[in-house]
Structure 1
Amino acid sequence: MNLGIRAILYSARKWKKTLLVFFLLLAITTLVLSGLAIADAQEEQAEELRGVTGTSFTVERNLSTGGWTSGNGGSYSTQEFISDEMLQEIASVDGIAGYDASIVSMPYYFKETGDSVVTTGYTNSFYTYGSINTEYNDLFVSGRFELVEGSHITEDMTNGLIISRERAEQNGLEVGSKVVGINDPYTDDPEVDMEIVGIFEVVADKNDEATMYDASTMWDFSNYAFCSKAAMEAMCVNYGDGNKIQEADFYVTDAAQLESVINEVQSISSINWNNFIVTANDEVYQNISSSLSDTTALVTTLIIVITAVSMVLIILILSMSIRSRKRETGILLAVGIAKPAVILQYVLETLLIAVVAFPLAYLSSKQVAGTLGTLFGKAAENVIVTPEHFMLVAVVGGILLVAAVLVSSISTLRLKPKQILSQME
């Protein structure tokens, strides 16, 4: 009789054992496929994380290596400032997505009617960043502020202004409104014409522990403003070093490459790095990345444990089954059927079960994976079992099942037919 037919007939006759192995393979394969899908979702999340955590590095003046002098305003450092050329050189390094550098002051703004743009503070001054690219200002990158109308200030803007929705509504201003900025209206500081190009909304409370400390605690977030760097320089023209850049933030496209980007930046020979300090800002990425790595390790460990335990169970079940078939095995060997053919029959019996169990596990895992993924903090729709997962599990699973059959057959098939039959007498 053909060994394939013998395998089918035996599987049908021993249907209880067949069902036991079937459900075991179904459960194991479903769990392993779900685990692989969760691991892939974890990896995709990690990839996304590398580009969206606002990972950056700060370049600032190193006051400890500069000299000091005194003036009308007291002592001040003579250390060199960050120049526009220096910013351009650093920004040109591969891996840098964008940057922002600001000059901070507290100017006043006036409408075309001459009326002051009022705030909720005891003065009508705004805590203003004279920015190069507000999109990369920490307040926007961190999510504390969100631009809700208009556009961000960019490097090519010379007179743009962004204010909060609260102050815009309070003063009847909107995108396109013209204002005049004066650093100190009680002195001979120049008037600078500006146009509101954007309006932001305060998302986070400055007193919330989740936000970073800001030295300007006397200004509510709604009294913040952002203007073009050129406009701020024009307003602060009477203040010497007050209109120069002391630090800049550079954001990288891939958080995992932050260290290599910093190393490349510090290799720029035209910059005297003795005069500047470079600080990496990747705490958020490192914390989240560590958490994701722990979860990935846990998922991988579970897959390995499930596979190992399952292999042991399958080997035990097959060993018991093969030992119970000693007479059948002895007869087959006695009539001249070679041991490899007998083993092949056992293999076919197991693979016939797997051929049914694996596809059903693929279908069931599509339903189970999302539910299990939520236990690891994943959105169910992001945990997807793919055909690639199925092919991997089917191939590796098939190999492991063949190995299990071989291991289970060793104790019986190492005997000669006469020895096997004598043990059954």
Structure 2
Amino acid sequence: MNFVKRAGHSLWARKAGTAALAALFTVICALLLGGSVLRAAAERQEADARREIGVDVTVRDPGLTAALADRLGAAPQVHRYTPSLPVGAEGSGLRPLDAGAPPPDEAAPEAEPPLALLGVRDSGLLLPFSYGSSTIRSGRGITPRDAGADVAVVERRLAERNGLEVGDTIRLRPAGGGPAVPLTVVGVHQDTTPDPAVWTPPHELPGNQLYVPVGVAERLGAGAAEPVTAVYRIGSPDQAEALHSEAGRLLGADPSDVRVNDRAYRDQVLPLQRAGAFAGLTVRVTTVAGTVILGLVVLLRIRERRAELGVLLSLGEPKPKLIAQHTVEIAALALPAVGLAALACRFAAGPAGALPTDSLTAVPPVGAADLATVAGIALAISVLATVVPGIAILRLHPRSLLLDTD
């Protein structure tokens, strides 16, 4: 009889043992599948967090220009970046805020224009917006899509004083004189810094801070504006050194100040890495433990069938076929066990499918890749669990198998 048919008959004849072995295999596959799904979810969330959170590297150097900032932003390590070009401007028909207190007698005449503009490429990378000291109340911030556009984001207090809303137009003039530039208000931000209790120059008041695209800042700065800082978001702290080297190559010398801010990365990405590592360890431990447990069970089943093995060997059945028969018996339970484990994990995913982090959403339904991985591991376990004990038993002579009943 073909050894595959013998395997089927053997499983059917031993229904109770087959059911118990299938239940054990299902538990092992459920643990494997849970670990695989957890690891895959952690890896996906880590990749998303690297892109969205990442590590911010701030570069300061007197020689940093807008063009050099853009060239450094094209480095392969950089996901997002923004230069910062501070300029002053005057409003045309726009009333700046004042300190609400008279200036001291010894105060020097105001030389700076009353409005402080910051030309940026991506306002979301600025520290006030990254850490919540400034928030967008209506509209949006400055984005890379605004390059070449005449838009602005104004502070809430300045907007309230001038009755501005998203969609309105303001007009600003360069500090040294020149034609006014009309800008469309695309957002209103709120700075949590309170108004000072003492007299403060208007350009230092938080309410007089506006954000505009880099091109607008260059025009209002009469071509003299250069970025004081540039912020680059990279994937991990390990890439900061490479970015530092690239900045030195572009500038012709090491930048005067390079600061790495990886606090958000440590707070959110590292826990995901630990969760993924724990899930991977769970898969490995389950694989080893499952192989050992199934190997012991198979060894006991083979010892109970010593007479059967002796008869088959006496009839001339090759030993490899006997080992193959037991492998088929165990492997035949692997795929149903994976299916049952998938159903069990799907039912359990609701109450227990979320990782313990604020940024991680619920584990998604079981996918084909996870099932294929677990099925492969289950088949490998079934082979190892039968071949190793099978070889130990089948090393004996058929006469020994038939006579030794202990």
TM-score (structure 1 length as normaliser): 0.74
Name which of 130, 137, 144 aligns with 2:126.
137
Report the counterpart of residue 374 of structure 1 in structure 2: 354
| In the alignment, structure 1 residue 225 sits paired with structure 2 residue 210 | yes
Compute the displacement of 1:226 (Å). Answer: 2.6
| In the alignment, structure 1 residue 260 sits paired with structure 2 residue 242 | yes
Report the counterpart of residue 348 of structure 1 in structure 2: 328
**In structure 1, how many angstroms separate the alpha carbons of the residues matched to 2:135 and 2:348?**
39
Gaps of 5+ in 2: 104-112, 195-200
Question: Percent of aligned pairs with the same residue?
Answer: 21
Report the counterpart of residue 10 of structure 1 in structure 2: 10
Report the counterpart of residue 397 of structure 1 in structure 2: 378
How many residue pairs get aligned? The number is: 380
| In the alignment, structure 1 residue 277 sits paired with structure 2 residue 266 | no
Report the counterpart of residue 177 of structure 1 in structure 2: 169
Report the counterpart of residue 32 of structure 1 in structure 2: 32
- Contact conserved, 2:217 with 2:225, CA < 8 A, in 1? no
- Contact conserved, 1:176 with 1:196, CA < 8 A, in 2? yes
Name which of 354, 359, 369 aligns with 2:339.
359
Gaps of 5+ in 1: 62-79, 208-215, 238-242
Report the counterpart of residue 82 of structure 2 in structure 1: 99
Amino acid at match of 2:142: H
Compute the displacement of 1:358 (Å). Answer: 2.4
Report the counterpart of residue 416 of structure 1 in structure 2: 397
Compute the displacement of 1:191 (Å). Answer: 9.7
Q: 1:13 to 1:94 in 2, by over 3 A?
A: closer
Amino acid at match of 1:388: A
Deviations 1:155-177 (A, max 9, x none): 535x7542134542454212323
- Contact conserved, 1:161 with 1:196, CA < 8 A, in 2? yes
Deviates more, 1:305-314 or 1:219-228: 219-228
- Contact conserved, 2:172 with 2:181, CA < 8 A, in 1? yes
Amino acid at match of 2:397: K
Report the counterpart of residue 152 of structure 1 in structure 2: 142
Amino acid at match of 2:34: S
Q: Secondary structure at the match of 2:257?
A: strand
Q: 1:289 to 1:389 in 2, by over 3 A?
A: same
**In structure 1, how many angstroms separate the alpha carbons of the residues matched to 2:35 and 2:114?**
53
Deviations 1:37-69 (A, max 9, x none): 2211211112212221263322224xxxxxxxx
- Contact conserved, 1:358 with 1:394, CA < 8 A, in 2? yes
Compute the displacement of 1:321 (Å). Answer: 1.3
Deviations 1:205-253 (A, max 9, x none): 569xxxxxxxx9x98866643356677788888xxxxx75462123246
| In the alignment, structure 1 residue 321 sits paired with structure 2 residue 328 | no
Deviations 1:350-375 (A, max 9, x none): 12222322233234334445654414
Q: Secondary structure at the match of 1:197?
A: strand
- Contact conserved, 1:118 with 1:171, CA < 8 A, in 2? no
Amino acid at match of 1:90: L
**In structure 2, how many angstroms separate the alpha carbons of the residues matched to 1:345 and 1:91?**
62
Q: Map of 1:67-82 to 2, 5 A cutoff?
A: 80=62, 82=64
Q: Secondary structure at the match of 1:266?
A: helix
**In structure 2, how many angstroms separate the alpha carbons of the residues matched to 1:54 and 1:9?**
58
- Contact conserved, 1:99 with 1:133, CA < 8 A, in 2? yes
Compute the displacement of 1:279 (Å). Answer: 2.5
The CA RMSD over aligned residues, in Å, is 3.9
- Contact conserved, 1:132 with 1:155, CA < 8 A, in 2? no
- Contact conserved, 1:128 with 1:227, CA < 8 A, in 2? no
TM-score (structure 2 length as normaliser): 0.77
**In structure 1, how many angstroms separate the alpha carbons of the residues matched to 2:348 and 2:117?**
51
**In structure 2, how many angstroms separate the alpha carbons of the residues matched to 1:123 and 1:45?**
54
Q: 1:418 to 1:259 in 2, by over 3 A?
A: same
Q: 1:127 to 1:420 in 2, by over 3 A?
A: farther
**In structure 2, how many angstroms separate the alpha carbons of the residues matched to 1:177 and 1:53?**
33
Compute the displacement of 1:301 (Å). Answer: 0.7
Q: 1:411 to 1:222 in 2, by over 3 A?
A: same
Deviates more, 1:272-281 or 1:327-336: 272-281
Amino acid at match of 2:249: S
- Contact conserved, 1:109 with 1:117, CA < 8 A, in 2? yes
- Contact conserved, 1:319 with 1:409, CA < 8 A, in 2? yes
Deviations 1:292-336 (A, max 9, x none): 221111111111111211212111111111111222222222233
**In structure 2, how many angstroms separate the alpha carbons of the residues matched to 1:26 and 1:123?**
80
Amino acid at match of 1:48: D
Q: 1:253 to 1:332 in 2, by over 3 A?
A: same
Q: 1:142 to 1:273 in 2, by over 3 A?
A: farther
Compute the displacement of 1:347 (Å). Answer: 1.8
- Contact conserved, 2:85 with 2:217, CA < 8 A, in 1? no
